[in-house]
Amino acid sequence: MSTSVRAAVSPRVLAWARERSGLGVDDLTHRFPKLTEWEDGERAPTLKQLEDFARATHTPVGFLFLPEPPEEQVPIPDFRTMGGIRVSRPSPDLLDVIFQCQQRQEWYRDFAQVTREDPVSLVGSMTTSIPVVEAAERIRATLRFSPGERGHTWSDALRTLVDHAEELGVLVMVSGVVGANTHRKLDPEEFRGFSLVDRLAPLVFVNGADTKAAQIFTLTHELVHLFLGETALDDADLRSAPTDPVEHWCNQVAAEVLIPVRSLRDALSPDVPVFDELEPLARRFKVGTLVVLRRVHNAGQLSWDEYQAAYRDELTRIMGILGERSGTGGNFFNTQPARVSKRFARAVIVSTLEGQTLHRDAFQMLGLKKLSTFEELASRLGTG
């Protein structure tokens, strides 16, 4: 009679992998009834069970054979804070999204070199020595995103900003999940977005699980990082003034791009309470009410303590709305190009149709499984 081979793994590493995934023992015991015994060192999993456990916790299987839990670091500069304190442990979802975007960027850089694309001129074109208002005016003009150019809805504004950035050579990826896996939803409270600087393949990722209004601010903030030539991971938190001078400058410029303080002062009515003007101003500028609150504070209409109290109340209201939102992903052929960047998707499809990229690799990069889906996507993007 054959016996299953048991894996010699550290109980501490197994517990670390479970905790890293954000799952509790109760979340996994239906699949792994002996999990408590594994973590107590009373029993070892089989190799097959270990592979299944790695998939369930989104852990590289090689990590599970280490003698001690590894110290994972975010591979890019991390400016996220929670209550003014740096965020420590990254989730596997965040790490996988960053690694995936780095792989896409590397592929597109090679593609751009082969096709002799020009470097993207906006990357590194500014420094923090430029006054905030001047920088914002230049960025707003470059992106063609003045208040009158944003459409009628937040969705119009976001789509416009994405399209204009991609026309300038930026790969913009907006997704609320890891890859195309709708079971791995991203948490806006962990991160809002990040920028990956490259002269040929500048990339911005925006957490699509956030509200449309919040996504607009995040995208603007990350684009400001590209103008500076700075790679960064952000939460775009408006509750506090960042201590890092670069992050502070990016926050100020992004807010000024979206709501010029001069325009805000003109729009504020002295006869109307500030809190009654949040929604009308948010609709006018196609931003979130949290951005409006920050700008009202910048304009001297709210003290710091009043701003902090109002921000907490408004954030609670918005997070409640997010929690009630439907989890439907919409039409695949509309959502997937946005997740991977239309510019990137078109490049992969063209390269594949020309025989430079294998269909297998294209499917992996675009989150596809079938040739018919690839052909339909190519047709819809005008490359088939």
pLDDT tens profile 27-86? 898 999 999 989 998 988 999 999 999 999 999 999 999 999 988 888 998 888 655 556
| Beta strands in the chain, from DSSP E residues, in sequence order | 81-82, 85-86, 171-175, 177-178, 181-185, 193-196, 203-207, 232-234
Q: What is the pLDDT of residue 204?
A: 98
Would strands 181-185 and 177-178 be described as parallel, antiparallel, or unpaired?
Answer: antiparallel
| Residue with the larger pLDDT of the pair 189 and 224 | 224
Average pLDDT, integer, range 138-144:
97
- Give the Cα separation of 255 and 236 in Å (integer): 11
* Residues 59, 54: Cα–Cα separation, whole Å: 5
Contact status, residue 331 vs residue 337, Cβ threshold 8 Å: no
**pLDDT surpasses 50 at 2:** no
End-to-end CA distance of the chain: 56
Tell me what percent of the chain is helix, strand and coil, each rounded to the nearest 5: 55, 10, 40
Other Cβ atoms less than 10 A from the Cβ of 162: the count is 23
Say whether pLDDT at 241 is over 80. Answer: no
DSSP of 147-216: GGGS-SSHHHHHHHHHHHHHHTT-EEEEESEETTEEEEE--TTT--EEEE--SS--EEEEETTS-HHHHH
With b for 16 or more beta-carbon neighbours within 10 A and e for fewer, the 288-297 pattern comes to: bbbbbbbbbb
pLDDT mean across residues, the chain: 88
Least confident of 139-148, 298-307, 315-324: 315-324
User: 85-107, pLDDT tens digit by residue?
Assistant: 566 678 899 999 999 999 999 99
How far is CA 303 from each of CA 266, 295, 299, 307, rounded to the nearest angstrom? 19, 12, 10, 6
Helices 342-353 + 332-340 axis angle, to 10:
100
Among 254, 257, 284, CA closest to 269: 284
Give the Cα separation of 18 and 1 in Å (integer): 33
Residue whose tokens read 């596809």: 368
Evaluated on CA atoms 220, 224, 227, 229, the torsion sign reads negative
User: Which residues touch 275 (CB under 8 Å, ≥6 apart)?
Assistant: 310
Which tens digit of pLDDT belongs to each residue from 335-359? 888 999 999 999 999 999 999 999 9
Q: Which residue has the higher pLDDT, 331 or 255?
A: 255
Give the pLDDT of residue 347.
94
Q: pLDDT value at position 324?
A: 55
CB atoms within 10 A of CB 121: 11
| pLDDT 10s digits, 289-319 | 888 888 888 888 888 888 888 888 888 887 7
CA dist 141 and 138 (Å) reads: 5
pLDDT for 329 equals: 54
What is the band of 326 on the pLDDT scale with cuts at 50, 70, 90? very low
Tokens of 222: 């990350």
Amino acid found at 344: F
Q: For residues 48 and 240, give the distance between their C-alpha atoms in angstroms, rounded to a whole number.
A: 48
The pairing of strands 203-207 and 177-178 is unpaired
pLDDT of residue 1: 41
Place of tokens 């951005």: 291
Separation in Å, CA 15 to CA 24, 173, 320, 333, 380 = 10, 33, 32, 39, 46
Q: Give 205's strand partners.
A: 173, 194
Whose CA is closest to 218, among 158, 160, 278, 285? 158
Burial class (CB in 10 A: 0-12, 13-18, 19+), 343: buried
CA distance 384 to 378: 5
Spatial contact of 197 and 231, defined as CB atoms under 8 Å apart: yes
pTM: 0.88
pLDDT at 108 over 80: yes
Query: 190-194, 243-247, 315-319, 357-361 — which is least confidently predicted?
Result: 315-319
